[in-house]
Amino acid sequence: MVKRDEVARRAGVSAAVVSYVMNNGPRPVADATRQRVLAAVEELGYRPNGVARALRSRRTWSIGLVVPDNSNPFFAQLAHAIEDETFARGYSLLVGNASGDAARVESYLRTFQDRQVDGLIVVTNGPTEDLARTYEGRVPLVIVVDQPVRGLAASTVKVDNKEGARLATEHLVSHGFTRIACIAGPRDSAPGRERYEGWQTALRAAGLAAPDSLVRWAEFSLRGGAEAVRELLDSSPAPEAVFAATDLQAIGALRGTADAGVSVPDGLAIVGFDGIAEAEYTVPRLATVRQPVGLMGRRAVELLFRENGGDQVHEVFPLTLVSRGTCGCPER
Amino acid sequence: MVKRDEVARRAGVSAAVVSYVMNNGPRPVADATRQRVLAAVEELGYRPNGVARALRSRRTWSIGLVVPDNSNPFFAQLAHAIEDETFARGYSLLVGNASGDAARVESYLRTFQDRQVDGLIVVTNGPTEDLARTYEGRVPLVIVVDQPVRGLAASTVKVDNKEGARLATEHLVSHGFTRIACIAGPRDSAPGRERYEGWQTALRAAGLAAPDSLVRWAEFSLRGGAEAVRELLDSSPAPEAVFAATDLQAIGALRGTADAGVSVPDGLAIVGFDGIAEAEYTVPRLATVRQPVGLMGRRAVELLFRENGGDQVHEVFPLTLVSRGTCGCPER
DNA sequence: CTGAAAGCGCTAACAA
DNA sequence: TTGTTAGCGCTTTCAG
């Protein structure tokens, strides 16, 4: 590996000048000298060692991202937005999947901090107690999707889950359904709980009952949705409509409904939550509450790098109800 | 930040001993001494600086992964498998999306090498000429999905795309279809081309024509599949069945078929390729050719770290035809 | 078994 | 405008 001193020798300058040229500063360099250095860099194929650079400058140009599971389209789309923004700013992303394992989150959080990342973004959909224990507070942290976490100096980016769920459910009510079920998330997930509460709120506002028999606490997965809807359809009286806490569950529910020989939306209307790309391509198309995932991802990165790093910001993004075939609205 | 020397002072030992304890070597440490050091580490909350460590030891414990697009479920599932394996081995993953931009691939490749990654995995589905130019050969490289690349000292992991496509198409032939179309990938994608060739081969083997009018070169996306199938259904005579080069396109085609008012599989039978999780949840369920994505991801990491780094290995993984509702086979 | 010290490749303060 | 050099925090060789 060719290193700085070889370039300096070749260009007939000191090591410092090579550095000044590579970094465009902090000292100016005469144009003729700069050209000589750049020529030497080119000829030798010199590339500065990022590790040495990071050690000396105390800046790694990397940020750590922990997501629950990048195989979940919602998180994949969010991660992609985050990556676009970090790439545009010249940062690299260290990525870790929680894969439903709290110890793994902790491990990644520690490792990333040991690697001296310049910032940390954690996307959570489950319990967050461990976070406060593992986060050392040395670099900025932004939490996406979940609530502000107690005792943690972190900004957050989220949507109003309860309100979104309320909107979705209200829409089902407006279709005239009275037995509207809820496929909720795991009980230890804040978004899961909040979306359940929104469903409850909407039903009560409409003067409808929201009994436990209409609720299934399921995993945030295709299978979770499929199994939950089967149980709901097997109960009697069966629901006429269902609000699912995530699109993934809703798509699973679409499948489970077909398995039960029930048609959508006539036999069962369905509304999901998230607005993932796949929801536009189901048959029938999935009605959903769309999160502005691109905006949220980009904003998370902005918050991480904002000048005034001291104060925490808690941003709540707007939700859009998207009615499509599965809720009983005409397609298109 | 507390550092090594403070720990040493606190424990009443030299800096070297702290290092020996933290790394379990390379020199042995008396048990009593080790306990004193560990106690000091604990009390002070010492965490070794990974950057300094990497500079000195010439090992970063990180590997770089470039994928075409992590929002694509196939690549997301592959990336997840790769991450499971790197995590198990104590490595962190730097992840970059190509996002269809060759310059971005190049940028990530350079950046990752500048950061002194211990290995590089590149997942490609497009042209690969730039790779050879950008890869410096200093760390091991494994290429996944695509062909071995000319002039590049890299191992590869892939499936026999042509054979898989042939299998899928042959299966459609066995259902008695004679007008079987092909939704192929972009022309500059090797897997796209090979899958097209497999379709062609199967048709010819069955004594059927494989005219260009039955082929649509589409993007590897939901939309690509939906648009392609609309064109095919609008042509006359319309095909009775279609082989799609990816499940994503096939799922898009499912949607496009519904838009055309044609039912699946009676009006149009469909078989995809990849075996993504989502394929099990479409209505009807998507028949496909499954790639062993978990195995492939893990194997890519194994190849990266294999002892005998010198020789290249080109592994071809087995494919499984999975018949489900969309090809006309009974569900389950 | 433990300590002293060199040096990984670079940035930037200080000197010229 | 350019050169000299300390030192980022650690691993590991060499002495003891």
User: How do residues B104-137 score in pLDDT, each as one tens digit?
Assistant: 999 999 999 999 999 999 999 877 777 888 998 8
Q: Which two tokens stand for residue B205?
A: 């083997």
Residue A244 phi/psi, 5-degree rounding, is -110, 140
Between the CA of A56 and the C1' of D7, what is the distance in angstroms?
8
Q: Nearest CA to B279 among A261, A222, A277?
A: A222
For domain B161-291+321-327, is the CATH number 3.40.50.2300?
A: yes
Long-range contacts of B306-309 (CB under 8 A, 24+ apart): B309/B140
* Amino acid at site B153: A
User: Do A161-291+321-327 and A62-159+293-317 have the same topology in CATH?
Assistant: yes
What sign does the dihedral B71-B76-B82-B88 (CA atoms) show? positive
**Nearest-Cα residue of chain A relative to residue B134:** A45
Between the CA of A2 and the C1' of D6, what is the distance in angstroms?
23
Indicate the CATH number for domain A62-159+293-317.
Answer: 3.40.50.2300
Tens digit of pLDDT for each residue in A268-302?
A: 999 999 999 999 999 999 999 999 999 999 999 99
Q: Check A87 against B104: CB less than 8 A apart.
A: yes
**Nearest-Cα residue of chain A relative to residue B115:** A50
The domain spans of chain A are 4-48, 62-159+293-317, 161-291+321-327
Q: Which nucleotide is nearest to A114 (CA to C1')?
A: D9
The model's confidence at residue B309, banded by pLDDT at 50, 70 and 90, is: low
Q: Distance between CA atoms of B175 and B182, rounded to whole angstroms? A: 16
Q: Which two tokens stand for residue B233?
A: 């259904």
Q: Check B97 against A77: CB less than 8 A apart.
A: no
Residues in chain A: 332
Residue with tokens 């590149």: B122
Q: Which pLDDT value is given to residue B306?
A: 87
Q: Nearest CA to A116 among B51, B47, B105, B122?
A: B51
List protein-proximal bases of chain D (any atom < 7 A from a CB): 1-5, 7-14
Between the CA of B288 and the C1' of D8, what is the distance in angstroms?
55
Q: Which of A87-91, A173-177, A309-313, B39-43 comes out lowest in average pLDDT? A: A309-313
Q: Which pLDDT value is given to residue A241?
A: 98
Residues of B in contact with A48 (CB under 8 A): 114
pTM reported for the whole predicted model: 0.95
| Averaged confidence pLDDT in chain A | 93
Q: How open is the CA angle B99-B101-B104, to the nearest 5 degrees? A: 90
Q: Which nucleotide is nearest to A53 (CA to C1')?
A: C10
The model's confidence at residue B239, banded by pLDDT at 50, 70 and 90, is: very high
List protein-proximal bases of chain C (any atom < 7 A from a CB): 1-5, 7-14
Q: Check A70 against B55: CB less than 8 A apart.
A: no
B273 has a pLDDT exceeding 90: yes
In this prediction, residues B172-189 reach a mean pLDDT of 95
CATH class of the A4-48 domain in this structure = mainly alpha
Residue A310 distance to chain B (closest CA, Å): 19
Q: Distance between CA atoms of B23 and B27, rounded to whole angstroms? A: 9
Q: Which of A94-103, A121-130, B69-78 comes out lowest in average pLDDT? A: A121-130
Does any CB of chain B come closer than 8 Å to the CB of residue A326? no
